[in-house]
Structure 1
Amino acid sequence: MICKNCNAELNSNFCPNCGQPASLKRIDGHYIVHEIEHILHFERGILFTVKELIFNPGQNIRNYLSENRSRLVRPIIFIIITSLIYSLSISFFHIEDQYVKFEGGELRTPSKIFKWIQGHYGYANIIMGIFITLWLKLFFRKYNYNLFEILIVLCFVMGISMLIYSSFALLQGLTKAKLMAIGGMVGLGYCSWAIGHFFGKDKVLNYIKAFFAYILGMLTFVILAILSGFLFDLMTRH
């Protein structure tokens, strides 16, 4: 037999070259349940990743970068899923979004940009993570991590912050108490702690630098979004 994925010769149940099964099972109810269990599995899936990132983010992310990339959920998938959970949470409970908020209805394009951000947090968080990454690279330039590795750190950290915001959205929806502002502070506190923990948990200065890098990255993202929309409006008026 010939592998349908890489055309290598097959003499077993799996391709020796790419690992593709010799024959794929039909997709049925058992397959769907298995896929869901695989995503949520406590030893390798979302729940395991969340647990590891809450209790020991620095060590687990360093392990992901340099030793084992099979224990945690892939970072891009992680931040997109957790951002979706946040969007669904505030939508379900009809909570006013306070994560990225813009008051400026008279500025047409900036308003549209922020409306897009609020509807696509997974992608927007990745974009914002790029700006935070630049500040982190500047503040932690003595460490031997490139921009892409720091961006992976942020995908994990910001993913957990999305779950923190989701938890407070759930509490606010159930209790009717105004808790989202507290959730924002807790989320920011976690991000600063987790990033500082990654670069070295024994140095207080790392947590301070992580906090300011995160704030400056968010401000850079917001300011550039407003300026881009404002300049677009200015150019299209003439």
Structure 2
Amino acid sequence: MTTCKNCKIAINSNFCPNCGHPAVLKRIDAHYIAHEIEHVLHFERGILYTIRELITTPGKNVRHYISENRSRLVKPIIFIIVTSLIYSILSHFFHIEDKYISYYESQHSTTSKMFLWIQGHYGYANIIIGIFIALWTKLFFKKYGFNLFEIIILLCFVLGMSMLIYALFALVEGIAHQSVMTYASILALLYGVWSVGQFFDPTKLSNYLKAFFAYMLGFITFMLSVFAIGSGIDFIFH
């Protein structure tokens, strides 16, 4: 008889009857790593399956995920982190962001440093921007009864797909040496507006207009917040 390492009760089987924790953990080896990668990428309820579902009917599938079945799609936080990582790797490899995002000011100001971080890490900054978009989305669609956290989950999926759009166009630009990232921005915006509008009610044109303004105002308020925080820090400490 041994003791469960997780909940500390005595067990005499291979798994704890209380929490399901294995009595003896297997060592981490190549098989374990391969299994973990397969768990993330496998088609059923994996990233590939999630991407397929989010291409066809994103709003419907995310709404189903939130309201009915949370096992069909990849966890939204994992999804946006992985897709942002994919974009960041491609962007840094091909030096994509250096061509499109620039901020010139005193290199010693906090505001400048914050914008330069955004310039170099747009994939991760996009996650923060999503919170601002979520706030405006909550305001515009409050009659539908979804709380802020549910809307953030929606945007994790939507912005994750946007990162894949950026990643695809970054790959094309890096290989073909053609400036196409502007088209990626337009396509990502259209996808986001379409997805959010479809999530709430695909039959109402006004929902797509609200989604568009939520996106625009989210981005604007994010940039203003960065400027205000940076300027405030500089004012206090300099």
Please confirm whether the aligned pair reaches a TM-score higher than 0.5, indicating the same fold: yes
Distance, in Å, in 2 between the alignment partners of 1:178 and 1:123 is 22
Distance 1:41 1:98, change over 3 A: farther
Q: Which amino acid aligns with 2:214?
A: A
Worse overlay, 179-188 or 101-110: 101-110
Q: Counterpart of 2:140? A: 139
C-alpha offsets along residues 7-51 of structure 1, whole Å, 9 cap, x if unaligned?
Answer: 234343322222212222221111111111111111122111111
Paired residue total: 236
> Offset at 1:102?
4.6
5+ residue gaps, structure 1: none
C-alpha offsets along residues 160-206 of structure 1, whole Å, 9 cap, x if unaligned?
Answer: 00000010001111111110000000001101101111111111111
Could you tell me whether the CA contact under 8 Å between 2:79 and 2:156 is conserved in 1?
yes
Distance, in Å, in 2 between the alignment partners of 1:122 and 1:2 is 44
Distance, in Å, in 2 between the alignment partners of 1:58 and 1:95 is 30
Worse overlay, 55-64 or 184-193: 55-64
Do residues 104 (structure 1) and 109 (structure 2) align?
no
Distance 1:204 1:98, change over 3 A: farther
Q: Counterpart of 1:30? A: 31
Distance, in Å, in 2 between the alignment partners of 1:57 and 1:214 is 17
Distance, in Å, in 2 between the alignment partners of 1:74 and 1:144 is 22
Computed over aligned residues only, the root mean square deviation of the Cα atoms, in angstroms, reads 1.8
> Offset at 1:77?
1.6
Q: Counterpart of 1:83? A: 84
C-alpha offsets along residues 206-230 of structure 1, whole Å, 9 cap, x if unaligned?
Answer: 1111011011001100111012112
Distance 1:160 1:169, change over 3 A: same
Percent identity (aligned): 60
Worse overlay, 103-112 or 26-35: 103-112
Could you tell me whether the CA contact under 8 Å between 1:5 and 1:20 is conserved in 2?
yes
Could you tell me whether the CA contact under 8 Å between 2:97 and 2:119 is conserved in 1?
no
> Offset at 1:106?
2.5
2:97 counterpart SS class: coil
Could you tell me the TM-score, scaled by structure 1's length? 0.92
Q: Counterpart of 1:113? A: 114
> Offset at 1:131?
1.2
Q: Counterpart of 1:236? A: 237
Distance, in Å, in 2 between the alignment partners of 1:174 and 1:209 is 37
Distance, in Å, in 2 between the alignment partners of 1:103 and 1:119 is 11
Distance, in Å, in 2 between the alignment partners of 1:59 and 1:14 is 38
> Offset at 1:5?
0.7
5+ residue gaps, structure 2: none
> Offset at 1:71?
1.8
Alignment of 1:175-186 (within 5 A): 175-186=176-187
Worse overlay, 23-32 or 175-184: 23-32
1:142 counterpart SS class: helix
2:44 counterpart SS class: coil
Distance 1:221 1:228, change over 3 A: same
